[in-house]
A and B are shown apart, each in its own frame.
Chain A
């Protein structure tokens, strides 16, 4: 299957700072990328969908000014958590797809805000 990487895998930051998470499709061109958040023992919560070169579409209840998403190329999307607070601590997962339906997921990033 297709490979999607995420960096960093784990990050700890202080409250009030910003953190950037990268998502890359390594062996295919991702026309669409998705960002999810997973709370402990819960399902995947879709945060936003981004198409290369255009603005991300955010799900209801997700603050676009807090979670900045950029999809500047067909292989890279970034999620920046701005002015992070402890309640933003979570497991963030990206996924990517080309023009097919199947989404391929990255390994996830564990964010801890102290």
Chain B
């Protein structure tokens, strides 16, 4: 039973436009959410996180929005750049698990 879902396996966006990657979760006990970026044949790189007590966190071109009532979060990248093309993993952490649970990933392609 997947607790962290990323329903779009892939997404294509034109360079300069906004990329919106979505993530849904089922467990209301998660209290921390993270986004990782992964290039082929490399390990994931931590991108940005958000605590469950917040609804927005921004870091440069990256903003994560959290809607707790909908159990939904999204990562916005603006403006998108070709170097952003990668697989993005949404992840959730709960103190009862004491580990991060990853979603299946969304492959983002930014077209020049």
Contact = CB atoms under 8 A, between A and B. Distances in A.
A101 B93 contact: yes
Nearest to A4: B43
Interface residues of A, number: 22
> Which secondary structure dominates chain A's binding surface?
strand
A44 interface: yes
Interface string B69-86: 000000000000000000
B34 A44 contact: no
Interface of A: 1, 4, 6, 34, 42-44, 46, 49, 91, 93-95, 101-108, 110
Given A94-B43, A101-B93, 17 more contacts: A4-B43, A43-B104, A43-B105, A44-B102, A46-B102, A91-B41, A93-B43, A95-B43, A95-B44, A101-B34, A101-B49, A101-B100, A102-B46, A102-B49, A103-B100, A107-B42, A108-B41
